[in-house]
Structure formats: structure tokens, C-alpha cells
């Protein structure tokens, strides 16, 4: 069994500085009762958090010596009776924490080259989130008052630009840090953003051989292989499911000259924000052969909420849902990791475009109908 010491007991017993080699975590924490536990978890082979050790807090400090790791891995530090966690990357370096119990997201992690890259990536995500929230709040204010189409288009363009800049940042970081574990996290984030599988695969190939052997990278690679079933140019996977009245609907019976498969949910705010745009394009082009099929990822027991969202948003096209949330079988078949997500099919059911929304939707549909 390995020995666990707080800073004070370590100095008292050894009478010298702590070992600076190998995987160890230490830190300071405010506002926590003496004896409360710190837990360290890391991802297991199924990419689920698994506790690997713990230590009691003494005098607002903690120290935990851990076995060396064979490869970097996503890890988590949690505090007794405190919601949330502090994310870090396990590596064979001493890692130090400044923990703020009442604001875990503001906690600081130092030590190790992997965590230095992680910190810069987390800061990027925080800055991005602030900008996106600001734009979406402005969009909601517009919708709540007297919507101005020119202003709404401008705000949609701002959000699209933020997304494009974010993806470019991610791609650049992966190219510059092919041996950083953060690069695997970034590619996983890109997959959840519905970035084309081909682009993710291209950047996955840049990763170092050692990084490709980590369990998270191998899971990502398996997902990318499954994603080939929904790439542009491939015939869309067939499916069927119940509509709100319980009638079974099948893809092949719902195809138009051009068909949009829209993955959404009543609880998904970005989906609801995009719905008026889809309604407008549908009403304009439905008579020319444009069909829409809604696939909802609403939860079990919330059918009424799903139906109300359909009515409130005037979604006058076929709707399907098994009400299984992220386990929705059609979403699983299409590899959906985030919503809104969309696939545009030609009259033969071949995927011709993916995740087209906002101001790009109408010209895309118009061109496909004309061709």
C-alpha cells in the first residue's frame, strides 16, 4: 500500500523536502473542515471516472503520492460534499492545486507540461463561452421585443464566426501539440460539435503514436470509424420511429426531392432558436419538394413538453422520437454527440450536406432543388 501524507506530517516524519519526481498531487484549499477528504479519479478503460486514491485535508493543505502513470490521462480532483470537480491531466510530475471550494471552476492547477497546455485550452473555452452567451442573450432580447431581421442575421453571423474561430483554434493547437493529451480532448470536442469526420480523422492522424494508444484516443478512433456511415456522399442510414400519435414513420416514406433530417429537442435552446429559420425555409420551398423530418432527443416522461414545443414553434412536418434522450436509437445510428445536428439528403436518400443552418440554409436548399 502506498503511503499518504499531508504536507505537515510529511515534513515531520521525513525532516526534508518532499520528493519532486513522479506523479504526486498537493495543494491548498480554503473554507473546508479539517479531515474532509480529497479524491483523485482518472478515466478507466471505458472512459468513465474511477477513484484511484484519497487523502484527508489538514490545516487547509493536502498531499498525495501516486503511482507513476504509463501515459497521460484525463483526471479529476473532487472535494468531500462539494459539487463539481477540478480537471487535470495525470503525468509523472508533481501537480499543485489552489482549490476554491465555493468556486471550483476558478481553481488553479500548475505543474507538468500537459497541464500547461490544458490550462491554455480551458482559458480559451471560458473566453469563448462568454462571447457566445453575450451573442445569444442579445438574440433572445431581439426575439422578445420587436425582432429586426437585419440585426438577427448579424448576430447569427457573429455566432457562426465564433464557432469557425473556435474550430480553427482547435485545429491549430492539435497541429502544434501532437503529443499533448489535450489534443485528444480537442478532437473529441470537435466530434461533439459535428465537425465533419474527415477533418477530425485528418487531425487524428497527426497525433503521436503514444497518444493514439491511450484509451480515449482509441475510443475516438472507433467513433470515427462508425461515423463513416454518415459522411457526405453515403446513403443515409434507414430508420423508423413513432410520431407523437404513436404512428410508426419510416425515412423512405418521408423523402422529398430534398430532405432535411433535423435532430433537436424541446430542452435545446440553440435548436429552438434555429426553428424559426427552418420553418421559414420549409414554408417557402415545401411545394417545390423540400421535406423536413424532426428527430427529437426529448426525455422519457416529457412527451407533453415535446408536443408543446412542436406546437409553439409551428413545426408543421413529421416528428419522430422514442423519448430516450441521448439514447435515442436514431441519434445513435447517426452518431449524434450534440444538437442541433442536421443532415440534408437528395431524393435517393444520399447525404449531400451536413449541419447547414442559419443564413446558409435557404441558399443551400434552393440550389439543391434547382439542381
Domain termination site, one of 88, 109, 130: 109
Q: Are residues 211 and 300 in the same domain?
A: no
* Phi, psi for residue 148 in degrees, rounded to 5: -105, 120
> What is the per-residue pLDDT for 21?
58
> What is the per-residue pLDDT for 359?
87
Number of domains in the chain: 3
Residue 80 and residue 286: Cα distance in Å, rounded? 56
C-beta of residue 298 within 8 angstroms of C-beta of residue 266: yes
Least Cα distance to 90 among 54, 59, 66, 57 occurs for: 66
Q: Are residues 209 and 253 in the same domain?
A: no
248: CATH: 3.40.30.10
Domain termination site, one of 180, 211, 230: 230
Q: Are residues 261 and 357 in the same domain?
A: yes
71: CATH: 2.60.40.1120
Within a domain: 335: yes
Q: 241-251 in b/e burial notation, b at 16+ Cβ within 10 A? A: beebeeeeeeb
> What is the per-residue pLDDT for 176?
96
How far are the Cα atoms of 42, 79, 148 from residue 31, in angstroms, in the given order?
25, 11, 49
Q: Are residues 247 and 345 in the same domain?
A: yes
Within a domain: 235: no
Say whether pTM exceeds 0.85.
Answer: no
Q: Are residues 189 and 274 in the same domain?
A: no
Within a domain: 321: yes
Q: Are residues 255 and 223 in the same domain?
A: no
Q: Evaluate the omega torsion of the peptide bond into residue 340 and state whether it is cis, within 30 degrees of 0.
A: yes
> What is the per-residue pLDDT for 195?
83
Domain termination site, one of 109, 141, 160: 109
Q: Are residues 247 and 362 in the same domain?
A: yes
Q: Are residues 120 and 105 in the same domain?
A: no
Q: Are residues 92 and 141 in the same domain?
A: no
Within a domain: 342: yes
Structural domain including 354 reads 240-370
Within a domain: 1: no
371 residues of the chain, pLDDT tens digit each: 222 222 223 222 233 334 445 799 999 998 888 899 999 999 887 778 899 999 999 999 999 999 999 889 999 999 988 888 999 999 999 999 999 988 888 899 999 899 999 999 999 999 999 999 999 898 888 878 877 778 888 888 898 899 999 999 999 999 999 999 999 999 999 988 878 888 999 999 999 999 999 888 998 998 888 777 888 899 999 999 999 999 999 999 999 999 999 999 999 999 999 999 999 999 999 999 999 999 999 999 999 999 999 999 999 999 999 999 999 999 999 989 889 999 999 999 999 999 998 889 999 999 999 98
Q: Taken in order 351, 353, 355, 356, is the CA torsion positive or negative?
A: negative
Q: Are residues 330 and 270 in the same domain?
A: yes
Amino acid at each position: 500500500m502506498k503511503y499518504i501524507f499531508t504536507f505537515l506530517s510529511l515534513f515531520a516524519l521525513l525532516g526534508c523536502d518532499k520528493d519532486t519526481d513522479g506523479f504526486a498531487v498537493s495543494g491548498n484549499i480554503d473554507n473546508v473542515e479539517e479531515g474532509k477528504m480529497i479524491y483523485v479519479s482518472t478515466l478507466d478503460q471505458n472512459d468513465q471516472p474511477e477513484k484511484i486514491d484519497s487523502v484527508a485535508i489538514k490545516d487547509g493543505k493536502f498531499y498525495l503520492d501516486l503511482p507513476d502513470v504509463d501515459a497521460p490521462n484525463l483526471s479529476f480532483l473532487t472535494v468531500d460534499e462539494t459539487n463539481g470537480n477540478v480537471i487535470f491531466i495525470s503525468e509523472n510530475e508533481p501537480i499543485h492545486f489552489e482549490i476554491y471550494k465555493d468556486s471550483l471552476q476558478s481553481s488553479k492547477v500548475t505543474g507538468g507540461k500537459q497541464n500547461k497546455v490544458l490550462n491554455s485550452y480551458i482559458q480559451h473555452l471560458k473566453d469563448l463561452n462568454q462571447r457566445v452567451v453575450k451573442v445569444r442573450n442579445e438574440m433572445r432580447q431581439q426575439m422578445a421585443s420587436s425582432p429586426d431581421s437585419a440585426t438577427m442575421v448579424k448576430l447569427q453571423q457573429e455566432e457562426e464566426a465564433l464557432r469557425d474561430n473556435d474550430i480553427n483554434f482547435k485545429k491549430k493547437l492539435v497541429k502544434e501539440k501532437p503529443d499533448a493529451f489535450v489534443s485528444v480532448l480537442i478532437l473529441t470536442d470537435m466530434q461533439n460539435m459535428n465537425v465533419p469526420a474527415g477533418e477530425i480523422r485528418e487531425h487524428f492522424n497527426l497525433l503521436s503514436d503514444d497518444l493514439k494508444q491511450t484509451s480515449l484516443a482509441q475510443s475516438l478512433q472507433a467513433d470515427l470509424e462508425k461515423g463513416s456511415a454518415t459522411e457526405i456522399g453515403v446513403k443515409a442510414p434507414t430508420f423508423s420511429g413513432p410520431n407523437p400519435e404513436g404512428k410508426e414513420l419510416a425515412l423512405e416514406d418521408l423523402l422529398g426531392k430534398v430532405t432535411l433530417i433535423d435532430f433537436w429537442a424541446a430542452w435545446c435552446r440553440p435548436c429552438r432558436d434555429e426553428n424559426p429559420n427552418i420553418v421559414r425555409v420549409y414554408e417557402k420551398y415545401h411545394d417545390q419538394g423540400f421535406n423536413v423530418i424532426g428527430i427529437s432527443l426529448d426525455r422519457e416522461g416529457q412527451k407533453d413538453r415535446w408536443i408543446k414545443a412542436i406546437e409553439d414553434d409551428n413545426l408543421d412536418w413529421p416528428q419522430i422520437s422514442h423519448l430516450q434522450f441521448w439514447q435515442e436509437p436514431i441519434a445513435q445510428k447517426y452518431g449524434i454527440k450534440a444538437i442541433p445536428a442536421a443532415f440534408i439528403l437528395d431524393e435517393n436518400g444520399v447525404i449531400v450536406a451536413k449541419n447547414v443552418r442559419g443564413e446558409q440554409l435557404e441558399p443551400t436548399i434552393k440550389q439543391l432543388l434547382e439542381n
